[in-house]
């Protein structure tokens, strides 16, 4: 079946502008995660959704970052007043349930460049 999809694949924006990144998880997956990967670096957890609620937002780097999930499916990560240090690949992952630890499947990512 279809995997995790993300859009846009690439986004170039000017410093100070807002951006929205979208994630479509695998159908039926109730858990959704956002991670960030800076150039040549590892993966950093941002936020986790179970259904439409976000029990763990501990990785969001500042109040410029927010995310929502509607209908237990699509999620949007919003970065307000972007800064150059926000440039990174933003990866979304989903897994079937949080009742037990499950494999997370990653999307292709959105490569964000803030000029």
Report in angstroms how near the CB of residue 63 gets to another protein at its nearest: 20
Considering only residues 19, 60, 67, 91, which one is a binding residue for another protein as defined by CB under 8 A?
91
Considering only residues 13, 45, 66, 72, which one is a binding residue for another protein as defined by CB under 8 A?
45
Give burial (CB, 10 Å; 0-12/13-18/19+) of 36: buried
Assess 48 for contact with another protein (CB under 8 A). Answer: yes
Assess 49 for contact with another protein (CB under 8 A). Answer: no
Paired strand residues for 37: 43, 89
Considering only residues 1, 2, 14, 42, which one is a binding residue for another protein as defined by CB under 8 A?
42
CB 112 within 8 A of CB 39: no
- How far lies 38's CA from each of 6, 69, 102, 109, in Å? 17, 24, 25, 12
Q: Convert residues 58-87 into a mask of x (bound to another protein by CB under 8 A) and - (unbound).
A: xx----------------------------
Assess 10 for contact with another protein (CB under 8 A). Answer: no
Q: Which residues bind another protein (CB under 8 A)?
A: 31, 33, 35, 41-45, 48, 55-56, 58-59, 91, 93, 95, 98, 100-109
């Amino acid at each position: 079946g279809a995997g995790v999809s993300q859009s846009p694949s690439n986004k170039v924006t000017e410093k100070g502008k807002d951006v929205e990144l979208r994630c479509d998880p695998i159908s039926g997956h109730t858990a959704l995660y956002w991670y960030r990967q800076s150039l040549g670096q590892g993966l950093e957890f941002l936020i986790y959704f179970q259904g439409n609620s976000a029990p763990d937002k501990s990785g969001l780097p500042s109040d410029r970052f927010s995310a929502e999930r509607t209908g237990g499916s699509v999620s949007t990560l919003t970065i307000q007043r972007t800064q150059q240090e926000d440039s990174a690949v933003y990866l979304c992952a989903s897994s079937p349930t949080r009742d037990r630890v499950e494999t997370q499947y990653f999307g292709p990512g959105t490569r964000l460049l803030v000029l």
